[in-house]
């Protein structure tokens, strides 16, 4: 049976300057980061599909990303901020113990909701030790933008900068949609981009007020679109219809057929 040491040894060999893999040796933190994000999404996708075999595989790929970053960090000197995989493990162990005093010390929490509140208080205290005292401090710039928008809104809401409820957010969305509609009549792509961004940002706030995970909602929408569009392609093929040569009324009719049978 393999263990984490075997994986660390494999990674070290891949990065060996003399006998390692040329591709792995060319990589750095920035080039690997997109793969790390991609693997995290593939884990989420396996969970969404309830595919346990695939989840096991994808978790391995995600773990490999952690090992890859740790190996590259270990190649740096301590003076340059270098660290090893064991340092990563120690850091997360210390953090989990520190943030769960009701489990590892004499703290108490009434339920999951109070635990979430206590968790955020611990995080806030940790952020207070840094120079940036903003309520938005620590929201990583490298997050997918939809997720960063959701986190920024959530942080601002904690200090009272928020709408009263989902219906208030919908009113704001209508306002932003009207501004976007108006911008499309002009000849300023930058303005259109700005107004569309505002609409997307407010939609993240609506998701939180509605108690909806925006990532999960978007994954469901993507999956639904893909299923229905593939159905349109199948029907078109069965009926000898060329999609590229068809008008939208024909395609919309096929879409509605698939939708009705979903």
Q: What is the pLDDT of residue 114?
A: 66
Kindly state the greatest CA–CA separation across the chain: 71
Fold classification of 145-212 (topology level): Helix Hairpins (1.10.287)
Q: What is the pLDDT of residue 144?
A: 85
Q: What is the pLDDT of residue 216?
A: 87
53: pLDDT strictly greater than 80: yes
Give tens-digit pLDDT for 101-153: 878 877 777 676 666 666 677 666 666 666 677 888 888 887 889 989 999 99
Give tens-digit pLDDT for 2-15: 899 999 999 999 99
Give tens-digit pLDDT for 33-43: 989 999 998 99
Instruction: Name the H helices within 108-165.
Output: 112-128, 145-158
Q: Helix crossing, 4-14 with 52-74: angle to 10°?
A: 60
> In which region does residue 81 sit, left (phi positive, over 0), alpha (psi from -120 to 50) or beta (all else)?
left
Q: What is the pLDDT of residue 179?
A: 97
Q: What is the pLDDT of residue 126?
A: 65
Fold classification of 1-83 (topology level): Helix Hairpins (1.10.287)
pTM beyond 0.75: the answer is no
Q: Token pair for residue 218? A: 């978007």
Q: What is the pLDDT of residue 122?
A: 67
CB atoms within 10 A of CB 228: 18
Task: Single out the residue of 117, 77, 119, 112 nearest to residue 97, CA to CA.
Answer: 119
Given a contact cutoff of 8 angstroms between Cβ atoms, the answer to whether 170 and 199 are in contact is: no
Average pLDDT over residues 18-43: 95
CA 112/CA 97 separation, integer angstroms = 17
């Amino acid at each position: 049976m393999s263990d984490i040491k075997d994986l660390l040894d494999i990674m070290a060999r891949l990065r060996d300057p003399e006998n390692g893999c040329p591709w792995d040796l060319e990589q750095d933190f920035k080039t690997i980061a997109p793969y790390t994000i991609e693997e995290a999404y593939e884990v989420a996708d396996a969970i969404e599909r309830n595919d346990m075999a695939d989840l096991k595989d994808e978790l391995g790929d995600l773990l490999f990303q952690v090992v890859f970053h740790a190996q590259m960090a270990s190649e740096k000197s301590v003076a340059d901020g270098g660290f090893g995989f064991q340092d990563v493990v120690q850091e997360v162990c210390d953090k989990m113990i520190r943030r769960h005093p009701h489990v590892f010390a004499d703290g108490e929490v009434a339920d999951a909701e109070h635990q979430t509140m206590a968790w955020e208080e611990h995080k806030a205290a940790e952020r207070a030790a840094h120079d940036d005292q903003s309520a938005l401090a620590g929201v990583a710039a490298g997050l997918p933008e939809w997720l960063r928008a959701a986190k920024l809104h959530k942080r601002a809401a904690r200090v009272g900068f928020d709408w009263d409820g989902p219906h208030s957010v919908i009113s704001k969305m209508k306002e932003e949609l009207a501004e976007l509609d108006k911008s499309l009549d002009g000849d300023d792509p930058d303005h259109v981009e700005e107004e569309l961004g505002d609409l997307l940002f407010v939609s993240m706030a609506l998701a939180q007020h509605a108690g909806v995970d925006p990532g999960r909602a978007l994954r469901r929408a993507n999956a639904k679109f893909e299923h229905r569009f593939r159905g349109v392609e199948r029907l078109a093929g069965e009926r000898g219809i060329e999609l590229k040569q068809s008008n939208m009324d024909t395609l919309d009719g096929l879409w509605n057929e698939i939708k009705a049978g979903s």
